[in-house]
Structure 1
Amino acid sequence: MAPPFTQTHIHGALCVLEVDQAIGNLSLNVDRVNIGSGDMNTITGAQLRAGRALIRWSANDLAKAANVGVATIRRAEATDGAVTMVPNNLVAIRAALEAAGVIFVDANGEGPGVRLKKVHG
């Protein structure tokens, strides 16, 4: 029997999250990410730094949440302009920040940014 999975789109990327409960395995497979195209998949180093600051995470916290190396986070944050990296890492980092309440804001003529998700309750 195949493990349960969830298929979703994260900003243009078809993602399949598979959970194998028998061995506690979790995997994220990314079909496509359109990096550097000017759409919502483009993230800047400044957005990563600002998003992390909004939720008071260290680079280590983000690396752990995204399951990437802390050097990957530091390299991305040091980038001026759009971040380029392995698509799976980009999706994982963005998903970790969004799950923690960070919203990525498109340029909309003023430049890209981040903000916190509104808390209901």
Structure 2
Amino acid sequence: MVSSSQIKAARAMLGWSAIDLADYSGVGSASIKRYEIQKGIPSANTSVLLKIKTALEKQGIEFTGDPLINPGVTLNIEKRVQSDD
């Protein structure tokens, strides 16, 4: 799955606010903010976290490492450019 720190890092890499992620994922911005203040994997329905993860991946975000031990995030610029076409 994805950790709260990965969600925050991914938004920062894209220059997105919580509202931007909410618009792209269909998850409420208040929920996103609530998930981001939690430690580790947010307490949320798996389908909700999957919506967030999928929205970020469509913009070129790649989640790396174990979300609990060594969470990581990278931005694949080529994927992002392709998805903007």
Task: Report the TM-score, using the length of structure 1 for normalisation.
Answer: 0.59
Cα distance between partner residues in 2 of 1:76 and 1:82:
8
In structure 1, stretches of 5+ residues that fail to align are 1-40
The answer for the alignment partner of 2:37 in structure 1 is 78
CA displacement at 1:86 relative to structure 2: 1.2
The answer for the alignment partner of 1:16 in structure 2 is none
The Cα RMSD (Å) is: 1.8
In percent, how many aligned pairs have the same letter? 36
Task: Report the TM-score, using the length of structure 2 for normalisation.
Answer: 0.83
Out of 40, 62, 80, which is 1:103 matched to? 62
Structure with larger Rg: 1
Query: Which has a greater percent of helix?
Result: 2
Matches for 1:1-121 after TM superposition, within 5 Å:
41=1, 43-107=2-66, 111-119=70-78
In structure 2, stretches of 5+ residues that fail to align are none
Q: Which amino acid aligns with 2:75?
A: L
The answer for the alignment partner of 1:36 in structure 2 is none
Q: What does the per-residue CA deviation read over 1:62-93, in whole Å, with 9 as the maximum and x for residues that have no partner?
A: 01100011111001111111112012211100
- Larger relative contact order (Cα-Cα within 8 Å, sequence gap ≥ 6): 2
Q: What secondary structure sits across from 1:73 in the alignment?
A: helix
Cα distance between partner residues in 2 of 1:82 and 1:91:
12
